[in-house]
Copies of this chain bind each other. A is one copy, B any other.
Amino acid sequence: MGSPAEPLYGKVFTRPRVVIVGGGFAGIHAAMSLAHLPVDVTVVDRRNHHTFQPLLYQVALAVLSPADIAQPIRTILRSQPNTQVLMDEVTGLDTSAKTVSLSSGAQLPWDCLVLATGATHSYFGKDEWAPLAPALKTIEDATEIRRRVLLAFELAERQMVEHGWHPPLNFVVIGGGPTGVELAGAISDIAQLYMRRDFRHIDPAKSRVLLLEGSPRVLAAYPEDLSAKAEAALTRLGVEVHTKTQVTNLGPGWVEAGGKRMEAVVTLWAAGVQASPLGKLLAATPGIQLDKRGCVVVDDHLNPPGVPNVFVLGDLAHFEQDGHQVPGVAQPAMQMGDHVAKIIAADLRGAPRPPFRYFDKGDMATIGRMDAVAKVEWPFKAHMSGFPAWVTWLTVHIFFLIGFRNRISVFVAWIWTYFTFTRGARLITGDLKLPGWQDQLDAGAKAGLDKPSAD
């Protein structure tokens, strides 16, 4: 019997060993749903924490603290005696030997493997853009974006005091999907509303927020009327929305798009995602197919064809239903996680496996302080926008946050933020430089912008 109080090695297992790689929505839901089955569960993640990704942009814009939306995976699962958590990186996998390799070289055996390592950002082959235009996937990404946005205002104020001018405060967000829309709206909020009283020499409200989207509309995955509403709401907030605008190049302090080069004090990337590299490791197994973003094509039992003891979930899975690919968002990931437990339970009983079907309750994105768009599918069908959509968004996100403490602290932070116009987590830590900033100062000084000191 695999009692979790003993080391994993050096003993004989009699219960099926389920190894779950990835502690995101899919992996955590799979582990939680397996709590009462006679299996031994190991969750492997290279991070110690589960991140509530839908609120990551609020960490990036200083509303919430990182710990408000992140919880140790082993704390979430600590009351499940059949589950252990291993903070390690999976470096290889072998579907015939039924093992995964870990960073130390050790092999972790499994009877059933659940892959849920999600997605990462894609710079479409231009990986040199990554340090210039950070994307938003992890807590570290969020604090890096926060550092850059807050630092831009501080450096402009400093330059104004010391030299009487500052480079334009242009914030460029590349990509008009939900993340790009939420980031652009939140930057506009912070500049227009939250920073105003704090500075003496610059006017944060005069900074520009540009949202660049290659396709003809923002939120392209949403119905057209909601895209139009989102664009109108962004425009009301002062965001300059440029659709049909492809970014062709970018560098420290500038972005080239639609044939024009614009200065950018901070550039953020919300344009592309690709599957985590684990999909490629799996692709060595014959018969396994990846789509163009590296997602593993799975059948309605969430297996790649011909590998019934390997499940691929969440953003790493390419699952089609009614001719459409299920999107890489939180809801299908959670449902897939729960479903894997149902399949394993059926296997244990010798019953036929139930097919997975995604139950779409809808989709929503916030736009700044009091606005949102929502495509509701359940409990009724509706397109919502404005304040009611925003309240719905708040309620749903508080409800889905894992951990009672996080619910309290996020609730308190929101009340505080929305009523006092103060951001609670306006911390700049780490490096005090911005890419390209010095170039812009030098160019300005050369152009004679520096005013001579009165002294």
Q: Which of B9, B49, B161, B429 contacts A453 (CB 8 A)?
A: B9
A121 on the interface (CB 8 Å rule)? no
Q: Determine the chain B residues whose CB is within 8 A of the CB of A102 once the complex forms.
A: 158, 162
The interface centre, meaning the residue of A161, A405, A406, A432 with most chain B CB atoms within 10 A of its CB, is A161
Which A residues between 63 and 78 are near B, CB-CB below 8 angstroms? Answer: 65-68, 70-72, 74-75, 78
Give the interface segment out of A193-201, A302-310, A329-337: A193-201
A351 on the interface (CB 8 Å rule)? no
Which A residues between 204 and 225 are near B, CB-CB below 8 angstroms? Answer: none
B74 close to A198 (CB less than 8 A): yes
Write the nearest CB–CB distance from A39 to chain B, whole angstroms. 15
A365 on the interface (CB 8 Å rule)? no
A387 on the interface (CB 8 Å rule)? no
How many copies the complex holds: the figure is 2
Q: Determine the chain B residues whose CB is within 8 A of the CB of A7 once the complex forms.
A: 160-161, 164, 201, 451
A5 on the interface (CB 8 Å rule)? yes
Which A residues between 348 and 405 are near B, CB-CB below 8 angstroms? Answer: 405
B75 close to A422 (CB less than 8 A): yes
Give the interface segment out of A84-92, A127-135, A273-281: A84-92
A124 on the interface (CB 8 Å rule)? no
Contacts known (A66-B65, A409-B409); A454 close to B10, Cβ less than 8 A: yes
A428 on the interface (CB 8 Å rule)? yes
Q: Which of B72, B406, B424, B430 contacts A140 (CB 8 A)?
A: B430
Q: Which of B49, B65, B85, B163 contacts A65 (CB 8 A)?
A: B65
Q: Which of B4, B109, B455 contacts A107 (CB 8 A)?
A: B455
**What CA separation (Å) do A46 and B10 show in the bound complex?**
55
Q: Determine the chain B residues whose CB is within 8 A of the CB of A452 once the complex forms.
A: 9-10
**What CA separation (Å) do A432 and B429 show in the bound complex?**
19
Write the nearest CB–CB distance from A139 to chain B, whole angstroms. 6
Write the nearest CB–CB distance from A95 to chain B, whole angstroms. 16
Contacts known (A65-B68, A405-B422); A139 close to B427, Cβ less than 8 A: yes
Nearest B-chain residue to A203, judged by Cβ: B5
Contacts known (A49-B428, A75-B422, A428-B49); A86 close to B139, Cβ less than 8 A: no
